[in-house]
Amino acid sequence: MQSIDVDVEKKEILKRYRNLLKSCRKVLNKGDKQLIRLAFDTALEAHKEMRRKSGEPYIYHPIAVAQIVTEEIGLGPTSVVAALLHDVVEDTDMTIGDIERLFGKKVAVIIDGLTKISGVFDHSSSLQAENFRKMLLTLSDDVRVILIKLADRLHNMRTLDSMLREKQMKIASETAYLYAPLAHRLGLYAVKTELDDLALKYMEPEVYRTIAYKLQQTKRERNRFINEFIEPISKELSKQGLKFEIKGRPKSIHSIWNKMKKQTVSFEEIYDLFAIRIIIESPAEIEKSDCWKVYSIVTDFYLPNPDRLRDWISTPKANGYESLHTTVMGPKGTWVEVQIRTQRMDEIAEKGYAAHWKYKESTIENALDEWIHKIREILENPESNALDFIDDFKLNLFSEEMFVFTPKGELRTLPANSTTLDFAFDIHSDIGYKCIGAKVNHKLVPLSYQLHSGDQVEIITSGKQTPKDDWLNFVTTAKAKSRIKLALKEEKRKIAEEGREILEKKFKSLKINLNTANINELLAFYRVPTSLDLYYKIAKGLVDLVDLKEFIIEKSNIKPKNTPKIESNSLEDMVKLARGSSEMLIIGENMDKMDYKLSSCCNPIPGDDVFGFITVNDGIKIHRTNCPSAMQLMSNFAYRIVKAKWTSQKEIAFLAGVRLTGIDEVGVVNNITRVISSQLKVNMRSISIDSNDGVFDGTIMLFVHNTDHLTTLMKQLEKVNGILTVHRIDVN
């Protein structure tokens, strides 16, 4: 065990604390320094016996979080105090009351929002989803809770190396699934980009390392190109008397990987690996015209792509982002993205909501406040299940935006793919409930009509209209989904009341008491999960009460059951059985003990990095760690994830898919099938090839033993004359 030099550690702690003070000295008022010192001393005492997984003193973490909060997000002394204390209540005997007494109500509210839910672990829900929901509830009190939580997550991601692999996967999945989109939605682009990159580093390390290495290799060449590109623009901007700064930065590893996947191209085929940002000093009253002046100068030298102009100055994004984006044809036939903005816009783009307090501009304030108001509306639904809430919330986090107009010309921002019904709920819940259709650009359209940017929408209502089950199939916004679910539940509750009365009368005639024990037995008898479902089915005539006589006869043989508990216990037992003593599921062994299947959403094959997910009714499902569903499963149900590895299964064949593109030459299909069937003796299930104007695109489904077998096959196919690209695809 490594010996600890206490004096060296004390000096290091003090050094880090002084760096923190240096970072926030610009925002310190009278008395702030003493309060920060008290917070530091309190945290130091609270965590004095604690160490991180890396072996470092725990106090390094709260100091680092406070540093991110002030330096990278731009918050003030209250947030620095809260960041230093963010783990104190959770890890010590100190209470929220003690925090309020020492540091005031504002800090206490923030700490309360940051303190995780304690209590019994509920296997039927997701603890992480509940924690996230609780944290968002504090939006109605103080948005700084979210900003400090993001700083906390960013530091944890930066120091994830010392954690076990499965912990890394869980935390990285949560980060990519919830925290990165949230940072994006709050306008924290620098934080969002780093979170995405770090999540990729742990979820797909090989991909991350490869792209990072290739970016490093092409750095010198890229810098030379950037200097050549900006030289004429710089000269002209100076000539026009504009004060400016030009930055050339590579795209994030995460966004490059997304493009490679989306366009099924290699790193070398990504044309816009970097963006040029022109930041100008400009007074507020002429910002817009100055940005367009810069656009005019850029396009005097380089031809713009008319389809790639984005004007977020006239209509800022919902998180307050303002910028002018264009893509131009640069030297050597390379497309280059150019972003044009002022210093104020740049600070809001980098620091989002934190900069919103500094610049009290109406567009920024309204856009962010409106978004927070929408989140509060979703949170007001007391019936909302935490996981449903997270799914609905994410719909609004990830989505691109569009702008539509009311009949009076008022601009409303909605997520892309929103329908007329989404628009109705966006105006007001009561209008949504009574909506029967709409006029879009003066033409009559149904509730499910998908809107487009620039549409003018007039909602048509009827007092007789009520929400229907199928409405959930064609709404996108979280507000519409939560309001429809609430209305349907209320309607179900009213119908269930009638069912309860019917059952009460029936029980009375059969001289049975309507108590909890008998209802639980009846739930088991009819195989219905809840009493609400039972009453509803009785009212709708879906449960035949003639069977009650049979129930009475069997009653003496039925042991009291509580259906939800059976499910919870059986799930716990499954988790224990699946993990066993080694905590590792070996695929190919224990088939008699545990039922498991290869998931159809990603079709893993031996050699793939995989994990097991314990389902309630379907045994264990094996997923690839880069499966589209993996992020959500690991983020929300980490306790049901089992480590898994393959045994040698050379005699078993697994289905895999390969996509090819190439030049359509005579005999190309014959050459492909010869490599697969004759040379490598691989069985094909299907082959589909489409040809268009001399180019073909093909998909082959075949059976392989493992990833090595598949890689060998793909390398051989790449050598066939005329073939341009070969990629593995997911099998659905």
| 683 strand-pairing partners | 703
From the candidates 5, 90, 245, 690, give the one annotated as an active-site residue: 90
Q: How far is CA 423 from CA 412, 450, 478, in A?
A: 9, 10, 12
First-to-last alpha carbon distance for the chain, in angstroms, is 50
Three-state secondary structure call for residue 678 = helix
From the candidates 9, 71, 91, 100, give the one annotated as an active-site residue: 91
Three-state secondary structure call for residue 403 = strand
Q: What span, in angstroms and rounded, lies between the C-alpha atoms of 150 and 616?
A: 33
Residues 6+ apart with CB under 8 A from 257: 200, 204, 207, 208, 211
Q: Dihedrals φ, ψ of 22, to 5°?
A: -60, -40
Exposed, middle or buried by CB within 10 Å (0-12, 13-18, 19+), for 541? exposed
Q: What span, in angstroms and rounded, lies between the C-alpha atoms of 435 and 331?
A: 54
Q: How far is CA 269 from CA 266, 329, 645, in A?
A: 5, 16, 34
Q: What span, in angstroms and rounded, lies between the C-alpha atoms of 354 and 70?
A: 10
**Residues of the chain by 3-state class (helix, strand, coil), percent to 5:** 55, 15, 30
Do 681 and 712 contact (CB within 8 A), yes or no?
A: no
CA atoms within 13 A on the CB side of 508: 6
| Closest by CA position to 298, among listed 227, 232, 228, 251 | 232
**592: annotated active-site residue:** no
| 279 strand-pairing partners | 245, 341
| Closest by CA position to 605, among listed 425, 443, 729, 519 | 729
Q: What span, in angstroms and rounded, lies between the C-alpha atoms of 256 and 273?
A: 7
Q: What span, in angstroms and rounded, lies between the C-alpha atoms of 86 and 61?
A: 10
Q: What span, in angstroms and rounded, lies between the C-alpha atoms of 710 and 732?
A: 18
Place of tokens 């990504």: 270
Do 637 and 658 contact (CB within 8 A), yes or no?
A: no
Exposed, middle or buried by CB within 10 Å (0-12, 13-18, 19+), for 606? buried
**90: annotated active-site residue:** yes
Residues 6+ apart with CB under 8 A from 389: 129, 133, 378, 379, 381, 482
Rg (CA), the chain: 30
Query: Would strands 596-598 and 620-624 be described as parallel, antiparallel, or unpaired?
Result: parallel
Q: What span, in angstroms and rounded, lies between the C-alpha atoms of 163 and 167?
A: 6
Query: Would strands 335-342 and 274-280 be described as parallel, antiparallel, or unpaired?
Result: parallel
Residue 636, H or E segment: helix 630-636
Structure tokens at 492: 């179900």
The catalytic residue positions are 90-91
